[in-house]
Protein backbone atom coordinates (compact mmCIF):
# COMPACT_ATOMS: atom_id res chain seq x y z
CA UNK A 1 0.00 0.00 0.00
CA UNK A 2 1.14 3.54 -0.69
CA UNK A 3 2.30 5.78 2.20
CA UNK A 4 -0.66 7.31 3.97
CA UNK A 5 -3.06 4.52 3.04
CA UNK A 6 -5.45 3.59 5.82
CA UNK A 7 -6.04 0.00 6.94
CA UNK A 8 -9.78 -0.42 6.59
CA UNK A 9 -12.00 -2.22 9.10
CA UNK A 10 -9.28 -2.03 11.75
CA UNK A 11 -9.11 -0.44 15.17
CA UNK A 12 -6.05 -0.20 17.43
CA UNK A 13 -6.04 1.13 20.98
CA UNK A 14 -3.16 2.10 23.21
CA UNK A 15 -3.52 2.88 26.94
CA UNK A 16 -1.79 5.80 28.60
CA UNK A 17 -1.77 7.31 32.07
CA UNK A 18 -2.34 11.03 32.57
CA UNK A 19 -1.95 12.38 36.05
CA UNK A 20 -0.03 14.16 38.73
CA UNK A 21 1.55 13.55 42.09
CA UNK A 22 2.28 16.16 44.71
CA UNK A 23 3.66 16.54 48.23
CA UNK A 24 4.19 19.40 50.68
CA UNK A 25 7.46 21.27 50.45
CA UNK A 26 9.97 20.54 53.18
CA UNK A 27 11.29 23.52 55.19
CA UNK A 28 14.51 23.34 53.17
CA UNK A 29 12.60 23.34 49.87
CA UNK A 30 10.38 26.24 50.96
CA UNK A 31 13.48 28.31 51.63
CA UNK A 32 14.28 28.18 47.90
CA UNK A 33 10.74 28.22 46.51
CA UNK A 34 8.38 31.09 45.75
CA UNK A 35 7.08 32.71 48.94
CA UNK A 36 3.49 31.52 48.49
CA UNK A 37 4.26 28.01 47.23
CA UNK A 38 3.39 25.11 49.51
CA UNK A 39 3.79 21.99 47.34
CA UNK A 40 6.01 20.42 44.74
CA UNK A 41 4.14 18.61 41.99
CA UNK A 42 4.65 16.63 38.80
CA UNK A 43 2.27 16.38 35.84
CA UNK A 44 2.91 13.51 33.44
CA UNK A 45 1.89 11.31 30.54
CA UNK A 46 3.14 7.73 30.84
CA UNK A 47 2.69 4.30 29.34
CA UNK A 48 0.91 1.60 31.31
CA UNK A 49 3.27 -0.81 33.04
CA UNK A 50 6.31 1.04 31.73
CA UNK A 51 5.53 0.90 28.01
CA UNK A 52 7.86 3.11 25.94
CA UNK A 53 5.32 5.51 24.45
CA UNK A 54 8.06 7.58 22.77
CA UNK A 55 7.91 5.06 19.91
CA UNK A 56 4.65 6.63 18.79
CA UNK A 57 4.37 9.92 20.70
CA UNK A 58 6.60 12.71 19.36
CA UNK A 59 5.94 15.30 22.07
CA UNK A 60 3.55 16.37 24.80
CA UNK A 61 2.64 20.01 25.40
CA UNK A 62 1.46 21.01 28.88
CA UNK A 63 -0.40 24.31 29.28
CA UNK A 64 -0.01 25.46 32.88
CA UNK A 65 -1.71 28.35 34.65
CA UNK A 66 -0.80 31.70 33.12
CA UNK A 67 0.88 32.80 36.37
CA UNK A 68 3.77 30.42 35.66
CA UNK A 69 6.75 31.61 33.64
CA UNK A 70 6.79 29.89 30.25
CA UNK A 71 3.35 28.48 30.96
CA UNK A 72 3.35 26.36 27.78
CA UNK A 73 5.89 23.55 28.20
CA UNK A 74 6.76 21.35 25.21
CA UNK A 75 8.40 18.05 26.19
CA UNK A 76 9.89 16.13 23.25
CA UNK A 77 11.49 13.14 24.97
CA UNK A 78 10.93 10.80 27.87
CA UNK A 79 9.87 11.37 30.53
CA UNK A 80 6.91 13.39 29.29
CA UNK A 81 6.49 15.40 32.49
CA UNK A 82 6.75 18.82 34.08
CA UNK A 83 7.90 19.34 37.66
CA UNK A 84 6.94 22.58 39.42
CA UNK A 85 5.97 24.09 42.75
CA UNK A 86 2.79 25.93 43.61
CA UNK A 87 -0.03 26.50 46.07
CA UNK A 88 -3.26 26.12 44.08
CA UNK A 89 -5.11 23.52 42.03
CA UNK A 90 -6.07 24.24 38.41
CA UNK A 91 -6.85 22.57 35.09
CA UNK A 92 -3.88 21.67 32.89
CA UNK A 93 -4.39 21.25 29.16
CA UNK A 94 -2.34 18.40 27.71
CA UNK A 95 -1.85 18.02 23.99
CA UNK A 96 -0.30 14.83 22.63
CA UNK A 97 1.43 14.88 19.25
CA UNK A 98 2.11 11.61 17.47
CA UNK A 99 5.10 10.70 15.32
CA UNK A 100 4.73 12.38 11.91
CA UNK A 101 4.97 9.02 10.14
CA UNK A 102 1.67 7.98 11.73
CA UNK A 103 -0.22 10.85 10.00
CA UNK A 104 -2.47 10.97 13.07
CA UNK A 105 -3.87 14.25 14.41
CA UNK A 106 -2.93 15.45 17.88
CA UNK A 107 -5.27 14.84 20.81
CA UNK A 108 -6.10 17.14 23.71
CA UNK A 109 -6.83 16.10 27.29
CA UNK A 110 -7.43 18.00 30.52
CA UNK A 111 -6.26 17.10 33.99
CA UNK A 112 -7.17 18.81 37.26
CA UNK A 113 -4.00 19.29 39.29
CA UNK A 114 -4.51 17.77 42.74
CA UNK A 115 -2.37 18.96 45.65
CA UNK A 116 -4.43 18.13 48.74
CA UNK A 117 -5.73 14.76 49.97
CA UNK A 118 -9.48 14.31 49.87
CA UNK A 119 -11.95 11.64 48.93
CA UNK A 120 -11.89 7.92 49.83
CA UNK A 121 -8.06 7.76 49.83
CA UNK A 122 -7.58 10.80 52.08
CA UNK A 123 -6.37 8.88 55.16
CA UNK A 124 -4.14 6.64 53.05
CA UNK A 125 -2.51 9.65 51.40
CA UNK A 126 -1.99 11.37 54.75
CA UNK A 127 -0.32 8.22 56.09
CA UNK A 128 1.99 8.23 53.07
CA UNK A 129 3.60 11.44 54.28
CA UNK A 130 1.37 13.80 52.36
CA UNK A 131 2.03 12.28 48.92
CA UNK A 132 -1.05 12.84 46.76
CA UNK A 133 -1.68 11.03 43.48
CA UNK A 134 -4.35 11.67 40.87
CA UNK A 135 -4.09 9.44 37.80
CA UNK A 136 -6.55 8.76 35.03
CA UNK A 137 -6.43 5.86 32.58
CA UNK A 138 -7.09 6.75 28.95
CA UNK A 139 -7.41 4.60 25.82
CA UNK A 140 -6.19 6.25 22.62
CA UNK A 141 -8.10 4.65 19.78
CA UNK A 142 -6.89 4.70 16.18
CA UNK A 143 -9.80 3.94 13.85
CA UNK A 144 -8.64 2.65 10.47
CA UNK A 145 -5.04 3.68 11.21
CA UNK A 146 -2.54 4.46 8.51
CA UNK A 147 -0.31 1.63 7.38
CA UNK A 148 2.72 2.89 9.34
CA UNK A 149 0.73 3.06 12.58
CA UNK A 150 -0.71 -0.41 12.04
CA UNK A 151 2.74 -1.88 11.42
CA UNK A 152 4.28 -0.02 14.36
CA UNK A 153 1.77 -1.34 16.89
CA UNK A 154 1.70 -4.82 15.34
CA UNK A 155 5.47 -5.08 15.84
CA UNK A 156 5.25 -3.71 19.41
CA UNK A 157 2.29 -5.50 21.03
CA UNK A 158 1.45 -5.07 24.71
CA UNK A 159 -0.76 -7.05 27.04
CA UNK A 160 -2.99 -9.32 24.98
CA UNK A 161 -1.51 -8.02 21.74
CA UNK A 162 -4.48 -5.78 20.93
CA UNK A 163 -3.56 -2.77 22.99
CA UNK A 164 -5.60 -3.82 26.02
CA UNK A 165 -2.70 -3.88 28.45
CA UNK A 166 -4.61 -4.68 31.63
CA UNK A 167 -7.74 -6.47 30.42
CA UNK A 168 -6.68 -9.85 31.82
CA UNK A 169 -5.22 -8.59 35.10
CA UNK A 170 -8.10 -8.15 37.61
CA UNK A 171 -5.74 -6.92 40.35
CA UNK A 172 -4.17 -4.23 38.16
CA UNK A 173 -5.03 -0.71 39.44
CA UNK A 174 -6.46 0.22 36.04
CA UNK A 175 -8.17 -3.06 35.12
CA UNK A 176 -11.72 -3.14 33.82
CA UNK A 177 -12.63 -5.38 36.76
CA UNK A 178 -11.69 -2.68 39.28
CA UNK A 179 -13.45 -0.12 37.12
CA UNK A 180 -16.59 -2.26 37.31
CA UNK A 181 -16.13 -2.60 41.08
CA UNK A 182 -16.06 1.19 41.40
CA UNK A 183 -19.19 1.44 39.24
CA UNK A 184 -20.94 -1.10 41.47
CA UNK A 185 -19.98 0.91 44.58
CA UNK A 186 -21.36 4.05 42.97
CA UNK A 187 -24.61 2.27 42.12
CA UNK A 188 -24.98 1.10 45.72
CA UNK A 189 -24.29 4.61 47.00
CA UNK A 190 -26.91 6.08 44.65
CA UNK A 191 -29.44 3.49 45.79
CA UNK A 192 -28.69 4.37 49.42
CA UNK A 193 -29.27 8.06 48.70
CA UNK A 194 -32.52 7.22 46.93
CA UNK A 195 -33.71 5.16 49.90
CA UNK A 196 -32.90 7.99 52.31
CA UNK A 197 -34.69 10.48 50.07
CA UNK A 198 -37.80 8.28 49.93
CA UNK A 199 -37.74 7.89 53.74
CA UNK A 200 -37.48 11.64 54.30
CA UNK A 201 -40.31 12.29 51.81
CA UNK A 202 -42.51 9.82 53.62
CA UNK A 203 -41.73 11.39 57.00
CA UNK A 204 -42.44 14.85 55.58
CA UNK A 205 -45.78 13.73 54.15
CA UNK A 206 -46.73 12.20 57.52
CA UNK A 207 -45.88 15.44 59.31
CA UNK A 208 -47.88 17.50 56.83
CA UNK A 209 -50.89 15.20 57.16
CA UNK A 210 -50.81 15.61 60.97
CA UNK A 211 -50.96 19.40 60.79
CA UNK A 212 -54.32 20.87 61.80
CA UNK A 213 -56.07 22.87 59.07
CA UNK A 214 -55.78 26.59 59.48
CA UNK A 215 -59.22 28.20 60.17
- Per-residue H/E/C for 7-57: CCCCEEEEEEEEEEEEEECCHHHHCCCCCCCCEEEEEEEEEHHHCCHHHCE
Per-residue pLDDT at 161:
47
Residue 90 to residue 71: CA distance in whole angstroms: 13
Q: Could you check whether the bond before residue 79 is cis, i.e. omega within 30 degrees of 0?
A: yes
Residue 74 to residue 77: CA distance in whole angstroms: 9
Task: Tell if the pTM clears 0.75, that is, is over it.
Answer: no
Distances from the Cα of 30 to the Cα of 24, 112, 141, angstroms: 9, 23, 42
Per-residue pLDDT of the chain (215 residues; tens, 9 = 90+): 445 688 898 989 999 999 999 999 999 998 888 889 999 999 999 999 889 999 999 999 999 999 999 999 999 999 999 999 999 999 999 999 999 998 899 999 999 999 988 776 676 766 667 899 999 999 999 999 999 999 999 888 775 544 444 444 556 666 655 566 667 777 888 888 999 999 999 888 888 887 756 55
H/E stretch holding 179 reads helix 176-210
Strand order in the sheet with 72-75: 72-75, 57-63, 91-98, 107-112
Question: Using the 8-state DSSP alphabet, how is residue 208 labeled?
Answer: H
Amino acid sequence: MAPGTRVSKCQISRPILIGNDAKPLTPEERAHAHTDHTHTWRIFVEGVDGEDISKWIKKVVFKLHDTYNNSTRSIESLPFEVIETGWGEFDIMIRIFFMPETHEKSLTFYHRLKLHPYGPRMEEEKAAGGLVESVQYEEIVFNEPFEYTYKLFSENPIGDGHGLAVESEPDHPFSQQLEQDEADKMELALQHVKNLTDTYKQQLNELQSQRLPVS
